[in-house]
């Protein structure tokens, strides 16, 4: 028997089908891989294009916002209210439209249209401004941003009032009158206010609401008439002497060491004396002082904290009841009639009754609250409460004193911050020796 060899069998037959299938599968895998890579590259390219589009759009949107803000600020840059040739005016704030592109000298890759719409009837004394900035992005889609604001029609000259106002004519304070007028003064109407320096006295001071100057001193008023009840008819016997108010408080403490923040002891009998210098004055200064207490009460659902005369009752402030805070001090008010130059100079001192000023334990020392408010390096301005006043040409308030034991030094304290509900108040409780 003849048996063919394995080699002859291989020549006689064909390749196994499994080998052909393996070679075809490899080619198919390569084609699929190429397709996947191609799709990935296309996706990356599309993402890159989208990123460039979004980045360009973000830059264009930032430019549009800035253009809108610039247009709004240009509306506020008027120098006069009425139309005036050569000057930008409030009357010129009208609707308008402008184009911003590279042809106009603006470095940009698109064209912006800045459309301004002005409504002069929606707000009294002002104009409503709506600025819309529109453009087409890289893909041709329309884009826009809109900014809205109010343009106030006040005369720009008022913006410099704080810088150019005379010191004797301060900006308005409480109740729409000069900040130099005591808060307790009664508004009489007609631009005048009045206050009784001593609650049970028979004299009253009359102020000009605009300037804060004392325009007269009236006498013959009933001792039972409180400041809050004063009427124009009560002020019949008045002089016409114009003067400056000098006012403040005197606090007392016997603590050792003394703490200015806790000085609330009952006031000792004290008068205020003014020694004027620099010339001959037509009228002598007039000073009055009164012991006060601080109370708190509710009125119209609001908490009020107020200094009232020591013997006052709740009815004096229109309240049915109040809480005594325990704070005590002496309030003083002086009227100084200046020289023909409109100025006065001099020194204010305390005059004790029943107690003495000295340096022993049995005596008292007078300190004055004083600080370098303008950071000039010295207490040299009249508002800073110097040892002596010089060339005063305006009312002076908050010229306060502290009375301590004669054996104690006047306390020196750094400025402190008092936290409030909406803001912080910085108080300087530092004092210097005044008497002896």
Q: Is the pLDDT of residue 426 over 60?
A: no
243-289, pLDDT tens digit by residue? 999 999 999 999 999 999 899 999 999 999 999 999 999 999 999 99
pLDDT for the residue 23: 57
Residue ranges covered by each domain of the chain: 80-155, 166-242, 244-436
C-beta atoms surrounding 147 within 10 Å: 17
pLDDT for the residue 32: 82
Better-scored residue on pLDDT, 379 or 246? 246
pLDDT for the residue 163: 57
Percentage of the residues of the chain whose pLDDT score is greater than 70: 87
Better-scored residue on pLDDT, 170 or 31? 31
Lowest mean pLDDT segment, chosen from 3-12, 76-85, 397-406: 3-12
Lowest mean pLDDT segment, chosen from 40-49, 158-167, 209-218: 158-167
Q: How far is CA 405 from CA 408, 411, 436, in A?
A: 5, 11, 12
> Is pTM beyond 0.85 here?
no
> Which pLDDT band holds residue 427 (cuts at 50, 70, 90)?
low
112-163, pLDDT tens digit by residue? 999 999 998 877 788 999 999 999 988 888 999 999 999 988 877 766 655 5
pLDDT for the residue 425: 47
Q: How far is CA 145 from CA 1, 45, 56, 377, 382, in A?
A: 101, 30, 15, 52, 54
State how far the Cα of 115 lies from the Cα of 424, in Å rounded to an integer.
43
Dump the DSSP string for 316-349.
GGT-S--EEEEEEEEEEEEEE---TTS-EEEEEE
């Amino acid at each position: 028997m003849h048996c063919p060899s394995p080699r002859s069998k291989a020549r006689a037959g064909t390749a196994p089908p499994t080998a052909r299938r393996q070679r075809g599968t490899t080619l198919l895998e390569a084609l699929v891989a190429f397709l996947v890579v191609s799709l990935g590259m296309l996706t990356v390219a599309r993402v890159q294009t989208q990123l460039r589009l979004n980045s360009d759009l973000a830059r264009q949107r930032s430019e549009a916002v800035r253009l809108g803000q610039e247009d709004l600020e240009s509306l506020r840059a008027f120098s006069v209210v009425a139309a005036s040739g050569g000057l930008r005016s409030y009357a010129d704030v009208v609707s308008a439209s402008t184009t911003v592109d590279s042809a106009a000298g603006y470095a940009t890759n698109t064209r912006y249209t800045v459309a301004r719409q002005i409504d002069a009837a929606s707000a009294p004394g002002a104009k409503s401004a709506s600025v819309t900035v529109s453009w087409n992005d890289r893909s041709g889609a329309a884009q826009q941003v809109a900014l809205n604001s109010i343009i106030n029609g006040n005369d720009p000259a008022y913006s410099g009032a704080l810088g150019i106002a005379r010191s004797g004519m301060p900006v308005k304070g409480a109740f729409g009158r000069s900040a130099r007028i005591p808060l307790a003064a009664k508004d009489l109407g007609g631009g005048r206010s009045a206050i009784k320096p001593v609650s049970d006295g028979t004299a009253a001071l009359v102020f000009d609401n605009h300037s804060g100057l004392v325009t007269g001193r009236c006498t013959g008023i009933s001792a039972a008439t409180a400041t809050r009840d004063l009427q124009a008819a009560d002020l019949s016997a008045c002089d016409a002497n114009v003067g400056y108010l000098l006012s403040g408080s005197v606090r007392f403490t016997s603590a050792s060491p003394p703490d200015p923040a806790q000085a609330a002891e009952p006031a000792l009998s004290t008068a205020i004396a003014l020694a004027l210098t620099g010339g001959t004055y037509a009228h002598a200064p007039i000073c009055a002082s009164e012991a006060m207490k601080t109370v708190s009460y509710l009125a119209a659902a609001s908490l009020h904290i107020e200094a009232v005369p020591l013997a006052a009752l709740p009815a004096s402030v229109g309240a049915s009841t109040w809480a005594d805070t325990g704070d005590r001090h002496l309030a003083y008010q002086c009227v100084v009639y200046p020289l023909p130059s409109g100025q006065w100079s001099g020194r204010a001192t305390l005059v004790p009754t029943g107690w003495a000023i000295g340096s022993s334990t049995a005596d008292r020392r007078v300190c004055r609250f004083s600080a370098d408010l303008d950071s000039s390096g010295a207490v040299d301005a009249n508002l800073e409460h110097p040892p002596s006043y010089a060339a005063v040409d305006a009312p002076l308030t908050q010229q306060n004193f502290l009375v301590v034991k004669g054996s104690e030094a006047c306390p020196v304290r750094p400025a402190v911050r008092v936290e409030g509900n909406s803001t912080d108040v910085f108080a300087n409780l530092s004092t210097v020796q005044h008497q002896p």
